[in-house]
Structure 1
């Protein structure tokens, strides 16, 4: 286990250094010749991937309500006038990735699952220019790794049906692109675009309880959000002892008493150790609680699921 951890820490450090330009350069021209300047077209909301449900709370109206509510929160101002597009997640998941775009720039995302009794659950959401399952991030990553030619334009890449692009969201932080290209299959992290050491689809580490829909209708959330720090400055998961954090009250105490915290989870049968800075939490009155993690931008992941799949270190 320590050998995997050491290998992973080294690998991620090198990847993060090499990947820095992918997430800092602005994208501004979809028709341009530069692979780092692919602008994201503003999508329309009427997409084939949106579910056709006859409930009073339709998919489109639910996403619009969540977008309007979240746009009032600190850090979400870019959502106010954004357009969104939805994409199906994997076979049989009844889930969708919703990408928000404002004036050609990606500004955030939502991961949404249908609830068995009707309605929808907000599994995860986030802000920033590198949303989960961003085609722009995937495009730049494949070019940087020379898996597609640098001469292919962004819009050509998106429309190229010979490159199979499947979005797999198995559980919290187990989110990957599955790319079929030239008789080869590649798996890339859905947030950073890093190439993963996988040869087959990852298996879910847990099943989500989808018994009731998300409710963000009661005012603003209670939020604590700190500036990000580099988890590799101390790497507490190598030799340290994790804290006993299993609930939001315990997380609040840890944030008050311990200062900077690092969330660590083991992915893909312990082939990858992922350490992420804990930025804070977001608590909705009658909704879910979310753990805020820094991963190429803030990720708001369901608190209970995250604490069940990882550990927090001081």
Structure 2
């Protein structure tokens, strides 16, 4: 997602320009266990749909299950979550350390939403982000389609294994601004990865955006640094073990949009926002753009911001308001805890003013 001295772009060979990334926050879930995906090809790569298994459902802690059930019940009272009333939740650990849980809601076998719950260091769980619609955060269909399309276009692509091979695919989640697929060519490993790495040659390894499967210029050293820090979730977030939080219906201030359609925002100054001033800014300017920043990464894909949802926690004498930023598409909006997003970068006015 994507200024003079603030951001500089470089061309990414598969899709749109990516932008210089100056900051990124981390949930720091350790690498999840690898999931084998058998890939077979005669003239390139073909992923068998019935063998494309990315993550297995797993028993979640009782507190996480209860918290998820509470959240689903409260969110399903208003659009766009009303279909959640009859949904079936499936829990998948994001990382062997169980620092986060992906809760996928399905209806008739199809995804209709998700939650991501992060484990708090002090105990309990927090709602990092959630989304509605048919586009899951980790979209296996998009990944399968992208790999098949690229291999059919070039059977000997430098970024894809050719001929019959075995792939290993895993989910990486380092906070709401960074969810990726990590894909390893096991046949290439068997051919001598260690010697290849010693010579400084590129390895048969690639990273892709979890939602749209766009290739990303990441590497192992970047992810080792990203996953090395312990999780530090904000206290300004809906959490278990606290007085029940009640969500207001989402406030939509503009139509969803693609930040790449108009790059005038690149020339604007960053906005210094708090959760409350974000809602005021959206009511005034209707739409904003968020750009993640990090010294570890040299790109970003900007997020459109076109609304928010507030949660009220506590009683009338000591009520706390938690703000979740609305992004994503109109069909599948995402809602991300303001503090978890804000510490990962900056907001910009979408009109450049």
| TM superposition shift of 1:210 | 6.8
- SS of the residue 1:242 aligns to: coil
Q: For residues 76 and 183 of structure 2, what CA distance do their matches in structure 1 show?
A: 33
Greater relative CO, 1 or 2 (CA 8 Å, sep 6+): 2
Alignment pair present for 1:230 and 2:258? yes
Q: Name which of 285, 292, 298 aligns with 2:333.
A: 298
- Cross-structure match for 1:28: none
Q: Is the 8 A contact 2:135 2:211 kept in 1?
A: yes
- Cross-structure match for 1:289: 323
| TM superposition shift of 1:251 | 0.6
Q: Is the 8 A contact 2:180 2:207 kept in 1?
A: yes
| TM superposition shift of 1:313 | 1.4
TM-score scaled by structure 2? 0.66
Q: Name which of 251, 268, 280 aligns with 1:240.
A: 268
Q: Is the 8 A contact 2:121 2:232 kept in 1?
A: no
- SS of the residue 2:326 aligns to: strand
| TM superposition shift of 1:232 | 2.3
Alignment pair present for 1:213 and 2:233? no
Q: For residues 131 and 292 of structure 1, what CA distance do their matches in structure 2 show?
A: 16
- Cross-structure match for 1:50: 59
Q: For residues 180 and 74 of structure 1, what CA distance do their matches in structure 2 show?
A: 39
Q: For residues 228 and 8 of structure 1, what CA distance do their matches in structure 2 show?
A: 25
Q: For residues 228 and 219 of structure 1, what CA distance do their matches in structure 2 show?
A: 25
Gaps of 5+ in 1: 16-34, 42-46, 151-160
Alignment pair present for 1:94 and 2:99? yes
Alignment pair present for 1:260 and 2:284? no
Q: 1:117 to 1:270 in 2, by over 3 A?
A: closer
Q: 1:194 to 1:94 in 2, by over 3 A?
A: same
Q: Name which of 170, 174, 177 aligns with 1:173.
A: 177
CA RMSD of aligned residues (A): 3.6
- SS of the residue 1:129 aligns to: coil
- Cα deviations across residues 182-225 of structure 1 (Å, max 9, x unaligned)? 33222111122111111215243974327783468343325312
- Cross-structure match for 1:83: 88
Count of equivalent residues? 273
Q: 1:216 to 1:136 in 2, by over 3 A?
A: farther
- SS of the residue 1:244 aligns to: coil
Q: Is the 8 A contact 2:9 2:17 kept in 1?
A: no
Name whichever of 120-129 and 296-305 sits farther off. Answer: 296-305
Q: Is the 8 A contact 1:137 1:192 kept in 2?
A: yes
- Cross-structure match for 1:115: 120
| TM superposition shift of 1:305 | 2.0
TM-score scaled by structure 1? 0.74
- Structure 1 outlier segments of 4+, above 6 Å: none
